[in-house]
Amino acid sequence: MNNAAHNPDTERLIALIGLAAAKQNSHPGPCPSDEKMAELIDNSLDHKQRVTMLRHLNHCNSCYRLWVETTSMLLEEKDLIDVVNIDQYRATAS
């Protein structure tokens, strides 16, 4: 998968813009399963499924919040792992 095209920050921005533009009375349809949400976050959905999920996020505040919180937590965790890996590299290189 091309992760640059499916950057969580870019998707978060797209969903946020969609939420701002969404009508208050629009119905987003049924919320996706945890598995589908995980596939979105993991960039393993095909294009049509990804578009459907992002449209849902544009209209469903609870799913949008879950998505933002989860991706933010994963990005923070990745940053922490990167810092630990750099510190381990520096320790072994010295």
pLDDT string in tens for the chain (94-residue length): 444 456 777 777 777 666 666 555 566 689 999 999 999 988 899 999 998 998 898 888 899 999 989 988 888 877 666 665 565 656 666 5
Query: What span, in angstroms and rounded, lies between the C-alpha atoms of 58 and 85?
Result: 36
Instruction: Identify whether the C-beta of residue 59 lies closer than 8 Å to the C-beta of residue 20.
Output: no
Query: What span, in angstroms and rounded, lies between the C-alpha atoms of 13 and 25?
Result: 22
